[in-house]
């Protein structure tokens, strides 16, 4: 089980890879932004920070349930949606209960 199953999903959709293979896409809410972890970066970039942000998670095409693609630290839900729609043109969003 990974973060795509553990963190709150705020939006979910399906995109068709090559027009035929469904790929599930999720926008996740996080209570922490991830730092780079690179000791050469400034501390403000290197360290994680306790701030709400959003992550975009998507499945590996042809491997349902395998969310290996992740875009972290999107500052708002609107920016996460815009990023998803640019990366996955024609995504079909589902309503969440």
pLDDT value for 1: 62
Compute the distance between CA of residue 81 and CA of residue 10 in angstroms, rounded to an integer: 10
Q: What is the mean pLDDT of residues 6-25?
A: 94
Res 83 pLDDT > 90: yes
| Mean pLDDT, residues 28-54 taken together | 75
Higher per-residue pLDDT: 48 or 13: 13
pLDDT value, residue 2:
76
The pLDDT value given to residue 92: 96
DSSP 1-44: --HHHHSPEEEEEEEEETTTEEEEEEEEEESSBPP---TTS-HH
């Amino acid at each position: 089980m990974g973060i795509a199953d553990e963190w709150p999903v705020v939006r979910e959709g399906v995109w068709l890879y090559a027009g035929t293979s469904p790929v599930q896409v999720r926008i996740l809410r996080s209570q922490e932004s991830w730092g780079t972890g690179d000791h050469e970066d400034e501390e403000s970039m290197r360290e994680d920070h306790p701030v709400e942000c959003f992550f975009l998670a998507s499945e590996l095409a042809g491997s349902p349930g395998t969310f290996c693609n992740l875009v972290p630290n999107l500052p708002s839900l609107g920016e996460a949606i815009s990023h998803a729609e640019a990366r996955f043109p024609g995504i079909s969003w589902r309503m969440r209960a």
